[in-house]
Structure 1
């Protein structure tokens, strides 16, 4: 123990690097040699009130580190070691850390963090559930001192924040009892009340059952609302944060509190001269708007399906509009005088809230906000001048097109003139507002009389400060998209391209200006270089046929730049310089993708050699340099596009490219690189068809190995499964040699394609992607096998599993998109065509008939067409069976 105390002290106070390293080595060896004893001794030091505070803190930190880790593999190892430790030792450690709560001096409590770490391991296994009751008693007991109450509440807050286990939710009553006790007005310690309110913030997601009970809900709302009136500023902010979160989680319960409490509390907060308080008042109404927008779309969907929505909007935003809008506009004019201040301030929050209010209240906001805009648009005070422009830009999404056109018609030319205002913030906001005008009113901004003034003004802005120039890039992006869309509405060729558009005369100048912008020495500020290249990509993507010569020249310019960047890299010494060069390489590769998609096939053959040479230089360098995975993925994406436009002509590059493609497929640690490599294989399949057969054994083996690796990120595997379909379509009947192995993996994915928690959006997206790619894979395999009797015979044994997947989609209702449902129905039709009466009992079921009906009634033309066709096939099957 004495030796442990010495080394713990050295980790904190020693100024000698060697001593510190020796101390850390000793502690690591102690943990490895006798984990249980090391944990026990650390807990004893932590609980020893006679020990120096910094030594106790060091012991607690070491104990937490052997229990908790952010890195998944280390966390799993820590958990296993703790659970394998004898129950007696574990109990001693738990008793000691609990005992330390009342004697710690430092804040935040390290003992509370250790309790959370142990609970995080044990509670999911149904162990140590009593810790929550112990902590509650520590808080509510009249004999508990301030430290014990504060640290116990901190531990409860950590547990609510970090541990997702039924054992925690089942103890919500005990948790809330402790938290409410700590938040009450007669709690003498402000620190305790702050910690309790923080714990409430962390606990709110666990209290659904409590909020469903009106009496318990009233208690929670009462204590939170009372705490918003506390004299302590930090405590008020915490309580307001609770209200902001409550209104998002429990909107449907707020009617009883809105008029009598929430409205007045949040409006008073918005008026507060304290920024942190005002921010929470504004955030409350932003959250109200977001909830009501979500409910609006849910109500629309419910009406279309002929059912009642689960929760309806109370239209709080519309009712409060006339009261809160003047406060938001006043706040909008309280910008910081510092031009480079990136802090989140009430003025910025007010702008976001006004945008959300406009989407919620639509035309209603225009008549209320217009007087402010008209009064201050030419104000001598730049704060109000900028606020008027910001207000104008903030309401362009929501009102009807007729109202918007009337609003923009009279303001557009004066707005363009503000791009040359003497104040930086006004030029910046004006450029941002014009980009929104271009998105909202494309017919107005593309009139020749407007473009004569607008385009030179935006070109001029590209030479201004980086943040102004970046917004000018976004405005140009929006403008070219608007011009291209208008031109397409006038008529296109068979490829969907218009002959010309209103920006053709300035197209070469626009390319030159944007490229010059990316070359500015200050282009790394305000993400200007990124904005410039993204605007250039939009310009290329939205270019008509008469600008093709400039698009082709841009390819040459981008290639030249890429080669210059590659030649610079060897001479760069600092990590920062290399990082900037890698970002530039990524942008250039992405720009190449946009340009290549516009290049004609005959031109692609001429420029393919220098393009592939440059891309291979990028790929070969990135393959050996750490932290270059993003550039490597962008280069592989560019290769994919080159394969698309080159077709079989890409064969001349395969010998040199193949080793790098294989290396990318084997790079399981970086999901973007893996995903890009899978995309390259798909594109090779589309271009080479069965000529790719000699390489397929190796590619399929690598894909199967990837699917078999449990450490590969979830988002990669659906793409690998979908790639089997591309391989099948390329090889046709020759795919039979891979049939059994690949279908087995597809079947395993079908088993995994279950949604266990519909509220977990990440899980829903993953399962949706899994289902979509499995269906695509099966569909392609069916089409590949249909002319091969042996293949059809082999495939027949897998039909029940395919139908299982279709049924899963059918039973998932609206969780599955129209696209996935249409694909599932298409597979139904293919299976009926191929197997006929042999599968009638499998496909003529209530879920599949319901899916067919939904697709026939879908707004999606593809879903409707496929649903009608598959329904006809099934009806024919029934008739022929009856005969």
Structure 2
């Protein structure tokens, strides 16, 4: 076992230091490559001490193929990036075996970050112009979804189980995020749309956990899913709105709300009033206020005249309240100075989005006047950031 582990670790270090897609820097031949992949695939099903090293070696191997692929890409680079494609199914099987969940105690051991990191890297560098790669990534998506479903449904008895479950949820959301982006940006986005309902529910369930990392990973995956599905994401908004509340807000979650508005545009109008009401409620949370104000700018940019018609006056009032210098001007406490700068940045982003989104000149002049008033107040504050 020690020899197998050390040999695999050495191979991983060689991949990390020497493996490059450039033809003149390659240290293995075409004849060597199948043997290397066969050995890694076999050892991925070895004991944990060895399989962990296999996952790290595969991570560095995949990272060496980090070459953007397009129809116009250099032929030699496209050929090199395709080398992994015939072996992807076997390698993915090996990685999943290395990180297999125990049916009785799925959280008995810490989730293998190296295994899921290797999966993410493999997905990221896969050439979607190759049929083998497409099939392998499509097959991986439901397998990861099943694991996430297990992680969501299994009971965590001890505090260690709870921590491991949260870490596992974060890792699985990360893998699905990579898959969604890969398939969503290819000719095979339909496969993402077919599973969008189930993934939406899974990601939203992760949002309710106590781990901020897992929540942020789930939010980012929802944003990627919205971009991949496009306007049809409106069909999944009822699920999203069930988990849309101030207590789940975070800076990343609020960025994703802006993404959803941009993806849906005018299609989101039936949901808009309810979503805006929750955002207004969130302004009572000082830590969230800068991001919520910035989110208003993204919403205005996304829905334009509709924002101007229904929400502009209310948002102008909120911005004026937030911009009142008495809340943060000329303070000496470092935390308050930092918060004041964040708040001003959020206000600036809001005004920027509103001015670019609204169409009526009279409304634009009123907003511009508000902005000038805000700038004058900031210029008089000696504690502002430069």
Q: TM-score by structure 2 length? A: 0.76
2:63 is equivalent to residue 481 of structure 1: yes
Give 2:230's match in structure 1, choosing from 647, 670, 673.
647
Counterparts of residues 397-796 of structure 1 (less than 5 Å): 422=3, 426-427=6-7, 430=10, 433-434=13-14, 436-437=16-17, 443=22, 444-445=25-26, 448-449=29-30, 451=33, 454-459=36-41, 461-464=43-46, 466=48, 468-485=50-67, 491=73, 500-519=81-100, 529-545=112-128, 546=130, 547-566=133-152, 569=154, 576-600=160-184, 603-605=188-190, 607-608=192-193, 610-616=195-201, 619-620=204-205, 623=208, 627=210, 630-661=213-244, 663=245, 666-667=246-247, 673-710=249-286, 712=287, 716-736=288-308, 737-743=310-316, 745-746=318-319, 748=322, 773-785=346-358, 787-796=359-368
Contact 2:203 2:219 in 1 (8 A): no
What CA distance in whole angstroms lies between the structure 2 residues aligned with 1:432 and 1:805? Answer: 57
Moved more, 733-742 or 547-556: 733-742
What CA distance in whole angstroms lies between the structure 2 residues aligned with 1:678 and 1:435? Answer: 39
Contact 2:62 2:122 in 1 (8 A): yes
1:55-106 deviation digits (Å, cap 9, x = unpaired):
xxxxxxxxxxxxxxxxxxxxxxxxxxxxxxxxxxxxxxxxxxxxxxxxxxxx
> Quick one: structure 1 residues 473 and 525, their matched pair in 2 at CA, closer, same or farther if it must change by over 3 Å?
farther
Local SS of the residue matching 1:534: helix
> Quick one: structure 1 residues 656 and 526, their matched pair in 2 at CA, closer, same or farther if it must change by over 3 Å?
closer
Counterparts of residues 276-425 of structure 1 (less than 5 Å): 422=3
Give the count of matched residue pairs. 370
1:827-860 deviation digits (Å, cap 9, x = unpaired):
xxxxxxxxxxxxxxxxxxxxxxxxxxxxxxxxxx
- The offset of 1:644, in angstroms, is 1.2
- The offset of 1:542, in angstroms, is 1.7
Contact 1:487 1:498 in 2 (8 A): yes
- The offset of 1:476, in angstroms, is 2.1
What CA distance in whole angstroms lies between the structure 2 residues aligned with 1:804 and 1:457? Answer: 67
What CA distance in whole angstroms lies between the structure 2 residues aligned with 1:490 and 1:757? Answer: 56
What CA distance in whole angstroms lies between the structure 2 residues aligned with 1:621 and 1:725? Answer: 27
> Quick one: structure 1 residues 784 and 501, their matched pair in 2 at CA, closer, same or farther if it must change by over 3 Å?
same
- The offset of 1:607, in angstroms, is 4.7
Local SS of the residue matching 2:56: helix
Contact 1:729 1:783 in 2 (8 A): yes
- The offset of 1:464, in angstroms, is 5.0
1:387-417 deviation digits (Å, cap 9, x = unpaired):
xxxxxxxxxxxxxxxxxxxxxxxxxxxxxxx
What CA distance in whole angstroms lies between the structure 1 residues aligned with 2:252 and 2:171? Answer: 16
Local SS of the residue matching 1:619: helix
What CA distance in whole angstroms lies between the structure 2 residues aligned with 1:480 and 1:627? Answer: 33
1:282 matched residue in structure 2: none
> Quick one: structure 1 residues 574 and 763, their matched pair in 2 at CA, closer, same or farther if it must change by over 3 Å?
same
Structure 2: give runs of 5+ residues left out of the alignment: none
What CA distance in whole angstroms lies between the structure 2 residues aligned with 1:653 and 1:564? Answer: 22
- The offset of 1:622, in angstroms, is 6.5
What CA distance in whole angstroms lies between the structure 2 residues aligned with 1:753 and 1:507? Answer: 55
Contact 1:729 1:784 in 2 (8 A): yes
Contact 1:466 1:525 in 2 (8 A): no
What CA distance in whole angstroms lies between the structure 1 residues aligned with 2:101 and 2:18? Answer: 26
> Quick one: structure 1 residues 596 and 423, their matched pair in 2 at CA, closer, same or farther if it must change by over 3 Å?
closer
What CA distance in whole angstroms lies between the structure 2 residues aligned with 1:633 and 1:453? Answer: 40
Structure 1: give runs of 5+ residues left out of the alignment: 1-419, 817-883
> Quick one: structure 1 residues 807 and 429, their matched pair in 2 at CA, closer, same or farther if it must change by over 3 Å?
farther
What CA distance in whole angstroms lies between the structure 2 residues aligned with 1:529 and 1:523? Answer: 12
Local SS of the residue matching 1:503: helix
Local SS of the residue matching 1:422: helix
Contact 2:15 2:64 in 1 (8 A): no
Q: TM-score by structure 1 length? A: 0.36
- The offset of 1:648, in angstroms, is 1.6
> Quick one: structure 1 residues 588 and 621, their matched pair in 2 at CA, closer, same or farther if it must change by over 3 Å?
closer
Counterparts of residues 12-31 of structure 1 (less than 5 Å): none
Counterparts of residues 781-860 of structure 1 (less than 5 Å): 781-785=354-358, 787-801=359-373, 803=375
Q: CA RMSD in A?
A: 4.3
